[in-house]
Each structure stands twice: as C-alpha cells, then as structure tokens.
Amino acid sequence: MKAKAILFASVLLVGCQASNKDASQSASNQNPPSANSLAAAGDLDWLMGPDGQTERELWQVVSEGLEMDIPDNERIREQKEYYLNNKRYLQNVTLRAEPYMYWIISQIKERQLPMELVLLPIVESAFNPHATSSASAAGIWQFIPTTGRYYGLKQDKWYDGRRDVAESTTAALDMLERLNIMFEGDWLQAIAAYNCGEGRVLRAIKENEAKGLPTDYWSLNLPRETQLYVPKLLALTDMVKHNERYALSLPSSNLDRALTRVEVGQQIELAQAAKMSGVPLTKLQTYNAGYKHNVTSPDGPHAIMLPASNAKQLEDSLSSGDINLVNWGEHKVVNGETIEILARRYGITADSIRQANNLTAQVSAGQVITLPISGEYINQIATQQTQIASNSSRSAAKVKYTVRAGDTLSSIAKRYNVKSSDIQSWNKLGKNNKLKPGQSLQLASNATNTKSRSTKSSSAKSSKNNNSSITYRIRKGDSLASIAKRHNVNINDVLKWNSKVTANRLQPGSTLTLYKR
C-alpha cells in the first residue's frame, strides 16, 4: 500500500504504541491532532461517523466490521474460556494494540480485507514489536528471517524490517492476500497457512481428497499449534464483537497514540531524535523497534515514527540543520576484553556500549559489537594494537618442543599456557595437520610449563610481579594508542595498570604506571 501524505510530504500516519513462516511458510503534553485534522487527508475517513464530523470509538469500528461466522465447537469454546479467565491480560493487550491498529485498519480498509485480520497480532505476538519466538520469528506479525526477506523486509546489522510496524504490516497483508487467492477465498485455510505454511495445508487437503473426506479447515489434519491458532482468532473475534455479552472492557480511542512517520533523510541517533522531538527516548525506542542499535541504518531507512503532536517539532529541528552526523564503527571482542575495558579504551561510557548493542550481559570473545564512536578512530586503535602485537611477536625468541606420544595441540597449549591457534601460527600448521611423536615445534619464549601454576597469570600481572615498572608523564598530544605503541605494550594492559584512566581523560602532566615486557 502506498501511504497517503498527511502532515507533510514526508510524514505518514501510523498507528503504533510500543514490537512466519517461510515463503510458503517457503507525549506528550502538546496538543494532540484532532480526528478531523488526521482524517482530512482521507486515511481516517473510516473512523468518522455518517456526518463526517463525529469520531467513532476505534473498537466500535472493529466490532462492526467483524463478519466471519463463528462455529460453536469445542476448540473455540476452549479458547474463549482461556481469554475469559485472563481478562486482565486481554485488556492490557488491547490497550497496547490500539495505537498500531490505525495503520493496520487503514490498510485493511483500502485492500478490502476482513477486519478479523487486525486481531491476528494478538494471537501472534500480543502486539509486542520486540517479540521473538523460539523459531526466530520476530515482530508483531512474527515473520521468520527468510519469509521476511521474501516479502521485502530488509534485515541487516542495523535494521530489522520485521519489527517495523508499518513495513511488516504491509508484508503480512501481502502474504495473507496471496494465501487467500491460493486457497480460493477460504480465509480459514489461508490463516492456517500463515501459521504453518501453505505446503502443510495443501498436503492436508490432498490427503483428505484422496480419502474422500471434507477439505474445510476443521476437517484437516494439521499441526497442533495450527489446530489452536484459528480457534484463538475466532474466539477473539466473537468476544470483541459481543464484548458486552462477555463483559470485556475495551479501551477508549485515544488519538494521542496515533503516530506519524517522519523521513529524516540521513542517519540519526534515536537519542538525538528524542531531544529534537520532545519524545522520551524509551518511547521512541519502542516506536522504532526495527532499529537494532538506537540509530537509523546507514543505508536507510531513516524514518522516525513518533506521535503526530511531536512531528512538527522534529521537522522544525531538522529544517534548522541541527543534526549530528553519525559515523559509528564496529569492534570484534578478543579474550580478556570487557565492556568496561572497551569503554575506557575508547573514552565512552559502558552504558552507551550496552545501549548501542542492546546488551544485558557481558561481551564474549569473537562477538562483533557496535561502538558509538567514529569508525576511523576504532580502526586507528586496532591498527596500532596490531603493530604492537606484531613487533612483540617478532622480537620474542622461540623455544623448541619435541612432540611426545599422546600429545595434541590442545594439551601442549594448556601445558605451556598458550593458545592452540598460536602454536599453529608459529609452526604454519593447518587445522587438519596431526602431530607426530618426535616432531619439533617452535613456541614463544614466554611459553612456560604450567607445572609452575603461577604462570597462568595475565601479562599485566606477570609484568607487575617482575617489578620492572616505569612512570610515564603524559605529554600534550598523547593518546593511549600512541603511548602503548611507544612502549611496546598493550592498551588493555595500560588500562589495567591505571584503573582511573580512560581514553578521554589523559591530562598532560599527569603520570601513568607502565610495566616493561
């Protein structure tokens, strides 16, 4: 669907509050927009009464649009009983869902699809854009990666279109329309195929045809989850349509929750967009769940979803040119590095690293993380560290080791407190090379037999124990990288030896303690 312009050429109406299958499965205190102003462009005409002036309740519109027949069978009764026993949950979900529904209903109305489809994300994800299943399905419509890509949802390190409410809704309705055509207008079969895949439903139909059995949804032999999936939707349909009968309390419409989408035109951090628009950062992060690192993707999209009442403030700020360029870089974690060490090395806060990567635990070796600083600076530090390590490696003498029966790379590495990969590198061994008794191996001079357990200490600790420390007075223009390079030590060690030092706290005249190798 091509959205119609509402506030500006670049501002689109979206309903959102807070987060499938393979392609075959193969804030604000400002004045909110009035219903009339939002409907003026035509997107919310369906929300207005016959006089074109009176706003109807959103859930009233939904209730009046529900037309599917609801059979009285055990599967549906069980799902109704579940929802009736969990009314508080259902009330919370419908409150969360309401803002998204403006966007979804607008598409449903334009495509002339069943209103029941607006309830499908309740079954899929409880309308949580951050929802992720055990099968890696994500977003309110629960697309798995392959299906998302099949339906045009971009997914990369920076952005996941499956969590973008506007984009994923378009993709989900595209998929459902396609399935409905495939199953010749049988919406129950199409919805079942959305859950378990069209191939599974087609096979079930063929099996019944071969046995002379009915081929309606209720007669098909489908996975247990799919046998419950359609009844859940139909149970919700009946309860929403007859909410008074079931004493189901549905939230009142609140256009404060209706969002617009502002096209920024370049990469922007959500924190800056929050300041420019007046929307709390936590809310903006929820509205823009598709952005993985709290910054729009370098290659786009660059759209920001936010309450319509804040859109003009953001537009005005953007027009003033008051926007910082974003040039974030990446770092591959190595053994011994922690979030805190990286923060001190690069002169940023540990919390900013956690926020940029949505981290709730410590980083691990081999993990690639985004750092909210210049990529050029990261590369500069990495290059200098590589040179230091290379110089250290070239200057280190080698010791000879003769392989004995039963030896493995792992056992030798453990015995001499080195890495197997280092032994392979020093001796130009391939991954599949087997050791032979009598074979000679070269080990670095700092490889010491671990019968002396004290050698398991870090290089920083070992240097300290040797008491070969020096005091270095910081000069103007010094950086951690330049100091480490000059003294042929590792930046990590400098940070360990000087716990109060960070990359942006080097004061000329102050001193550092360094330990010679």
Can you give the pLDDT at residue 452? 42
Residues 59 and 121 in one domain: yes
Asked if residue 231 is part of any domain, the answer here is no
Residues 166 and 116 in one domain: yes
Residues 373 and 405 in one domain: no
Asked if residue 118 is part of any domain, the answer here is yes
Residues 466 and 341 in one domain: no
Asked if residue 202 is part of any domain, the answer here is no
Of the three residues 133, 163, 182, the one that is the final residue of a domain is 182
CA angle 136, 142, 145 (to 5 degrees): 50
Residues 113 and 169 in one domain: yes
- Which residue in the list 74, 98, 110, 124 is annotated as catalytic? 124
Of the three residues 125, 151, 182, the one that is the final residue of a domain is 182
Residues 171 and 23 in one domain: yes
Cβ density class 120-136: b for 16+ within 10 Å, e for less? bbbbbbbbbbebeeeee
pLDDT band at 307 (very low <50, low <70, confident <90, very high): confident
Residues 118 and 36 in one domain: yes
Residue 16 in this model has a pLDDT that exceeds 80: no
CA distance 131 to 154: 18
Contact indicator for 143, 22 with CB cutoff of 8 Å: no
Higher pLDDT, 414 or 91: 91
Domain count of the fold of the chain: 4
Can you give the pLDDT at residue 298? 77
Burial of 283 (0-12, 13-18, 19+ CB in 10 A): middle
Can you give the pLDDT at residue 391? 57
Residues 37 and 117 in one domain: yes
Length of the chain, in residues: 517
Residue 107 in this model has a pLDDT that exceeds 80: yes
Strand partners, 261: 12, 305
Asked if residue 145 is part of any domain, the answer here is yes
* DSSP run (H or E) holding 261: strand 258-263
Q: Which domain holds residue 63?
A: 11-67+87-182
Contact indicator for 42, 86 with CB cutoff of 8 Å: no
Amino acid present at 166: A
Residue 283 in this model has a pLDDT that exceeds 60: yes
Has 124 been annotated as catalytic?
Answer: yes
Asked if residue 284 is part of any domain, the answer here is no
Can you give the pLDDT at residue 5? 26
Model confidence, pTM: 0.63
How many C-beta atoms lie closer than 10 Å to residue 4's C-beta? Answer: 12
Residues 338 and 423 in one domain: no
Residues 166 and 140 in one domain: yes
Can you give the pLDDT at residue 82? 96
Of the three residues 154, 182, 210, the one that is the final residue of a domain is 182
Residues 170 and 33 in one domain: yes
Residue 508 in this model has a pLDDT that exceeds 70: yes
Mean pLDDT of 290-298: 85
Looking up residue 505, the CATH number of its domain turns out to be 3.10.350.10
Asked if residue 197 is part of any domain, the answer here is no
- What is the DSSP-derived secondary structure letter of residue 119? G
CA angle 351, 354, 355 (to 5 degrees): 85
Higher pLDDT, 349 or 174: 174
Mean pLDDT of 205-234: 98
Asked if residue 256 is part of any domain, the answer here is no
Asked if residue 151 is part of any domain, the answer here is yes
Residues 439 and 471 in one domain: no
